[in-house]
Structure 1
Amino acid sequence: MTAPRAITLAAAAACAAVLATAVPSAAINSYNATPAPERTEVGALIATWDDDADPSTPDRVDWVCSGTMIDADTFLTAAHCTTDWPENVRFHVSLDQDVQTGLDRAAAEHPGDPAAVARAVAIEGVAHSHPAYPGPAADTHDISVIELPSAKIRERWSFTPAALPKAGALGALGPQGLDDTSFLVAGYGTQEARRGPGGQTHPGGGVRMKAPVSFDALNAAWIRLGMTAPQGNGGACYGDSGGPNFATLGGRLTLVATTITGDTPCYATNVVYRLDTPGARDFLKPYVQLP
């Protein structure tokens, strides 16, 4: 996966501050990755915001992160995607396979009207970021949800919410069990770094993709997943932040973590926030029924 075309203003600053020792992820790599039209629970976070002297109306719209529906009206993403924006920011969720094409088409139909563009491709919701974000590097509390009107989202898209893990599910697997577990990352992000005449760029983004990743390390709040090509892996990049990392647990595809950060060129490691920990579960408890 790769990063979005433009994760601008405060969103970019928030991403950069996620971990002092790493950079935010936001994309599915081009290698070993494929489109994911069947992952209908995976969506893109779209923002409208103001960046001029008149805050009464938005003048920018773009997709900024990825995420996952975890019940009929709750979209899970990262707190660095929903914090440190201008005061008039409004968040929307789209479950379209190709969000960028939808935005481009809507922009042509509604020139100069970012709010109308957002309405054309997505459903507006209310963001709730973890109140302790940003926390220490050991656990930054980088988790957020968007509450959506379930009737409106069901009118527009058909999906089955992602299954969440039981408490301590990853730790219970043990080192060998984790090594033997299949992981899958998904999102709308850009591709890995490419060098050109103008320097390094991250092309692509805005289309839902998926790629296999492999277990590397487990920490109290984090999983590190390998995404190197020789091992048959793909991985996350810019714009995949907040997006899902699935694991097959007991024969069931389970949303075990969300993409947060990784290496700058998006070639080596995806650092993801665990959802089976007491901290993540305490945050999610008011919004979704936990297993």
Structure 2
Amino acid sequence: MRRMSRTALGIVAATAATLVASAVPAAAINSYNATPAPERTEVGALVVTWDDDENPATPDRVDWVCSGTMVDANTFLTAAHCTAPFTWPPNVRFYVSLDQDVQGALDAAAAAHPGDPTAIARAVGVEGVAHTESGYPGPASNPHDIAVVEVPAAAMAARWSFTPATLPTAGLLDRLGPQALNGTAFVVVGYGTEEAQRGPGGHVHPGGGVRMKAPEGFNALNKAWVRLSMHEQQGNGGACYGDSGGPNFAVLGGKLVLVATTITGDVPCYATNVTYRTDTPTARAFLTQFVALP
């Protein structure tokens, strides 16, 4: 089956197959077994302004495109395919929002600042500087699909109260192994759309823009990936388009540990969330430039 990145809402150029989603606030992640996540205040949305006409002097587009997580006071962890320079025009600007309903906030800001994407973005988020892993895009076995956006800590603290997510120790998932991981609870959080629904023109993915969470189950462990089950009949939910870069937490000792970020999965968002591990040497070598690691 063809694989697609879980980025949504119009990333400009050729990241691996993206999908434009509805901008109507609704249940996201997957609608089955999903619930709102107002308590996950460390999880946010990546808001972007960019130009898509013949006048690059000013941006003319603004939208949220991915999910992510604050891993310290000024570092927002997301996916490289959300920030890679070759996927965006030169004047792209990145903002981080920790609002529960970022789509609602964008709609309100658009009404208050019609025709001014920069003012809209500033109303909903804090501007930052993106750093994309230099090895991206790597091979399928390890695509180096990890990035951060550094934001001013004072500006973030002035707008939102959050406790940064806990990152794993080196090789944590390897030490646990498949047997222990089979009994581990996982939770995915993000702003993405719902699973595929049949519409007049074919399958559509409604919703998106609201922070949601859903349980997942362990499926498989690879060198760079942990694959998580989203099957409804097993009591799970899962990620979909727009959840790229968002966290997948393992519940270990009663605490949430951010062991992977959402990257890809099956096209209709029914079965498997393919997530990039944060405990590997590659991920840790990148992250240690920006955040103190356990």
1:32 maps to which residue? 33
Amino acid at match of 1:43: G
Residues 164-243 of structure 1 correspond to what in structure 2 (within 5 A)? 164-243=167-246
Task: Provide the C-alpha distance between the structure 2 equivalents of 1:176 and 1:7, rounded to a whole number of angstroms.
Answer: 40
Task: Provide the C-alpha distance between the structure 2 equivalents of 1:4 and 1:226, rounded to a whole number of angstroms.
Answer: 19
1:47 maps to which residue? 48
Task: Provide the C-alpha distance between the structure 2 equivalents of 1:246 and 1:29, rounded to a whole number of angstroms.
Answer: 16
Task: Provide the C-alpha distance between the structure 1 equivalents of 2:7 and 2:103, rounded to a whole number of angstroms.
Answer: 9
1:21 maps to which residue? none
> What is the TM-score normalised by the length of structure 2?
0.93
Number of residue pairs aligned between Structure 1 and Structure 2: 279
Task: Provide the C-alpha distance between the structure 2 equivalents of 1:148 and 1:100, rounded to a whole number of angstroms.
Answer: 21
Task: Provide the C-alpha distance between the structure 2 equivalents of 1:195 and 1:254, rounded to a whole number of angstroms.
Answer: 36
Q: 2:270 aligns with which of 248, 261, 267?
A: 267
Tell me the CA shift for residue 197 of structure 1: 1.6
Deviation by residue 1:216-252 (Cα, 9 ceiling, x = unmatched): 0000000000001000000000000000000012332
Tell me the CA shift for residue 111 of structure 1: 0.6
Tell me the CA shift for residue 129 of structure 1: 0.2
Structure 2 segments unaligned to the other structure (5+ residues): 19-27
2:7 equivalent to 1:7: no
Residues 1-291 of structure 1 correspond to what in structure 2 (within 5 A)? 6-10=9-13, 13-16=14-17, 28-83=29-84, 84-291=87-294
Q: Is the 8 A contact 1:97 1:207 kept in 2?
A: yes
Structure 1 segments unaligned to the other structure (5+ residues): 18-26
Q: Is the 8 A contact 1:36 1:210 kept in 2?
A: yes
1:22 maps to which residue? none
Larger CA deviation: 248-257 vs 74-83: 248-257
> What is the TM-score normalised by the length of structure 1?
0.94
Q: Is the 8 A contact 1:213 1:235 kept in 2?
A: yes
Q: Which secondary structure state, in structure 1, belongs to the residue aligned with residue 59 of structure 2?
A: coil
Runs of 4+ deviating beyond 6 Å: 2-5
CA spacing shift, 1:283–1:173, aligned 2, 3 Å: same
Task: Provide the C-alpha distance between the structure 2 equivalents of 1:9 and 1:15, rounded to a whole number of angstroms.
Answer: 11
Tell me the CA shift for residue 5 of structure 1: 6.2
Deviation by residue 1:3-44 (Cα, 9 ceiling, x = unmatched): 67622322xx21429xxxxxxxxx610000000000000000
Task: Provide the C-alpha distance between the structure 2 equivalents of 1:5 and 1:117, rounded to a whole number of angstroms.
Answer: 19
Q: Which secondary structure state, in structure 1, belongs to the residue aligned with residue 94 of structure 2?
A: strand
Task: Provide the C-alpha distance between the structure 2 equivalents of 1:204 and 1:222, rounded to a whole number of angstroms.
Answer: 27
Identity %: 71
Tell me the CA shift for residue 140 of structure 1: 0.1
Q: Is the 8 A contact 1:3 1:191 kept in 2?
A: no
RMSD of aligned Cα (Å)? 1.3
Q: Which secondary structure state, in structure 1, belongs to the residue aligned with residue 65 of structure 2?
A: strand
